[in-house]
């Protein structure tokens, strides 16, 4: 098994074919832009979720015809692909679910709604009070009703519990992949782990996704350890572009990732009791800087640093992402001063123009560890 682009291409082609078959039968694809959207509701309604956060740099100049240049590349790239209709995942989405997170995304969704149907989920800005939970729960009920109407299927508590169980198995498998690197001798590079846990587009075959991750765990155990190098925890904005991950791995190893595709979103949803309340509670636990305060991110990072015996933390922040860039300062103080772990912030975009500069900074950081 080789966890590379060719592996992703094969998986992507299979999922694409399965999705087209389901679409021919009348099933619908629902595009999502943020980890707060509980995909369980989409699956329970008989839909196919797909994450639409984009990684293409080429499309950004087109997006800049409508959006300010000084905006996060993730927002610009996602909009550029929608505007030019060059992303198959966007193209085949019948409905878009967007969460009111950062300002860039919120305002971009308004433009997006002129291209395709967008349902905006209101999101509380803080999670530390009961009213915030009540509000979020009411938004999830609104989403439930919308999905039932648009997808033509009733979401029963039973179908929702089944979807919760399935996504919990996905989360458990994801954790098993990352836990391969908890020991002294790591078993996967960060680049391999990020490919292993990637749903690779349409989430049309969740048992197959779980199986894929479990096969990677078996493969890594059989292959044996890889050469130990300084152990880096990568935190920050979603790693939609792998530029920084690959640069770090030229001299070190990304042992764990605290971001939306990684260990930020693996908390299990309660499987018993009221499934809507369980989904609301679990999704509001996501340690996103759009929340103020965001104490959970500090707690999660402290836990991961201890469990994965991390030598250094790299905070990847996309340019013009105010939430992550501002949080980087107090976070650096917490990690350096309180946890006494070296910390490096890399602020960048999707272009290659600063690659050499990042290489120099990362090399100097790794040498110091």
Give me the least distance between CB of 163 and ligand SF4, in Å please: 20
Residue 268: DSSP 8-state: P
Q: Which residue's CB is nearer to ligand SF4, number 186 or number 261? A: 261
What is the edge-to-edge ordering of all strands in the sheet holding 312-318? 253-258, 231-236, 312-318, 343-348
Using CB under 6 A as the binding rule, the residues of this chain from 280 to 319 that contact ligand SF4 are 286, 288, 290, 318
From candidates 42, 43, 45, 72, binder to ligand SF4 by CB under 6 A: 72
Q: How far apart are CA 331 and CA 309, in angstroms?
A: 18
Q: Which residue's CB is nearer to ligand SF4, number 102 or number 147? A: 102
Residue 171: Cβ within 10 Å count = 18
Q: Under the criterion CB under 6 A, does residue 350 sit at the interface with ligand SF4?
A: no
Give me the least distance between CB of 64 and ligand SF4, in Å please: 15
Q: Under the criterion CB under 6 A, does residue 67 sit at the interface with ligand SF4?
A: no
Q: Under the criterion CB under 6 A, does residue 35 sit at the interface with ligand SF4?
A: yes
CB 257 within 8 A of CB 190: yes
From candidates 44, 75, 284, 341, binder to ligand SF4 by CB under 6 A: 75
- Reference 102, options 279, 323, 273; nearest CA is 323
Cis check for the bond before 293: say yes or no (omega within 30 of 0): yes
From 30-38, 138-146, 266-274, 296-304, give the range in contact with ligand SF4 by CB under 6 A: 30-38
Residue 37: Cβ within 10 Å count = 23
Residue 353: Cβ within 10 Å count = 9
Phi then psi dihedrals of residue 51, to 5 deg: -85, 135
Give me the least distance between CB of 10 and ligand SF4, in Å please: 27
Q: Under the criterion CB under 6 A, does residue 34 sit at the interface with ligand SF4?
A: yes
Q: Under the criterion CB under 6 A, does residue 324 sit at the interface with ligand SF4?
A: yes
- Reference 144, options 97, 188, 87, 107; nearest CA is 97
- Reference 137, options 277, 287, 40, 288; nearest CA is 277
Give me the least distance between CB of 303 and ligand SF4, in Å please: 18
Q: Which residue's CB is nearer to ligand SF4, number 238 or number 342? A: 238
Q: How far apart are CA 152 and CA 45, in angstroms?
A: 8
CB 216 within 8 A of CB 200: no
Q: How far apart are CA 222 and CA 214, in angstroms?
A: 13
Residue 85: DSSP 8-state: T
Q: Which residue's CB is nearer to ligand SF4, number 318 or number 343? A: 318
From candidates 260, 276, 344, 366, binder to ligand SF4 by CB under 6 A: 260
Using CB under 6 A as the binding rule, the residues of this chain from 81 to 110 that contact ligand SF4 are 101-102, 104-105
CB 206 within 8 A of CB 167: yes
Q: Which residue's CB is nearer to ligand SF4, number 75 or number 253? A: 75
Pairing of strands 118-121, 95-99: parallel
Number of residues that bind ligand SF4 (CB under 6 A): 20
Q: Under the criterion CB under 6 A, does residue 241 sit at the interface with ligand SF4?
A: no
Q: Which residue's CB is nearer to ligand SF4, number 101 or number 189? A: 101
Q: Under the criterion CB under 6 A, does residue 348 sit at the interface with ligand SF4?
A: no
Query: Where on the chain is the footprint of ligand SF4 (CB under 6 A)?
Result: 34-36, 72, 74-75, 101-102, 104-105, 237-238, 260, 286, 288, 290, 318, 321, 323-324
């Amino acid at each position: 098994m080789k966890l590379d682009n060719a592996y992703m291409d094969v998986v992507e082609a299979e999922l694409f074919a399965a999705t087209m078959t389901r679409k021919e039968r009348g099933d619908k694809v629902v595009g999502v832009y943020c980890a707060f959207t509980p995909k369980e509701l989409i699956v329970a309604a008989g839909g196919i979720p797909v994450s639409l956060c984009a990684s293409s740099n080429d499309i950004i100049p087109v997006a800049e015809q409508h959006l300010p240049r000084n905006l996060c590349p993730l927002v610009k790239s996602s909009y550029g692909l929608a505007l030019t209709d060059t992303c198959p995942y966007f193209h085949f989405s019948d409905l878009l679910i967007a969460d009111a997170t950062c300002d860039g995304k919120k305002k971009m969704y308004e433009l997006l709604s002129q291209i395709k149907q967008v349902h905006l989920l209101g999101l509380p800005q803080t999670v530390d009070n009961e009213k915030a939970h009540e509000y979020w729960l009411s938004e999830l009920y609104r989403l439930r009703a919308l999905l039932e109407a648009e997808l033509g299927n009733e979401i029963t508590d039973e179908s929702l519990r089944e979807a919760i169980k399935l996504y919990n198995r996905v989360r458990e498998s994801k954790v098993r992949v990352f836990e391969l690197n908890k020991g002294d001798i790591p078993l996967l590079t960060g680049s391999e782990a990020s490919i292993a846990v990637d749903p690779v587009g349409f989430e049309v075959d969740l048992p197959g996704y779980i199986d894929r991750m479990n096969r990677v765990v078996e493969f890594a155990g059989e292959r044996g350890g890889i050469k130990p190098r300084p152990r880096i925890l990568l935190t920050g904005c979603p790693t939609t572009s792998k530029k920084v991950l690959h640069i770090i791995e030229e001299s070190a190893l990304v042992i764990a990732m605290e971001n939306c595709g990684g260990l930020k979103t693996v908390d299990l949803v309660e499987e018993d009791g009221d499934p809507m309340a369980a989904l609301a509670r679990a999704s509001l636990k996501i340690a996103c800087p759009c929340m103020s305060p965001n104490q959970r991110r500090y707690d999660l990072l402290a836990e991961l640093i201890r469990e994965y015996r991390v030598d250094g933390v790299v905070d990847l922040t996309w340019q013009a992402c105010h939430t992550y860039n501002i949080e980087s300062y107090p976070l650096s103080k917490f990690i350096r001063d309180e946890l006494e772990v070296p910390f490096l912030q890399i602020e960048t975009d999707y272009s290659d123009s600063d690659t050499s500069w990042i290489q120099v900074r990362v090399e100097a950081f790794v040498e110091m560890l």
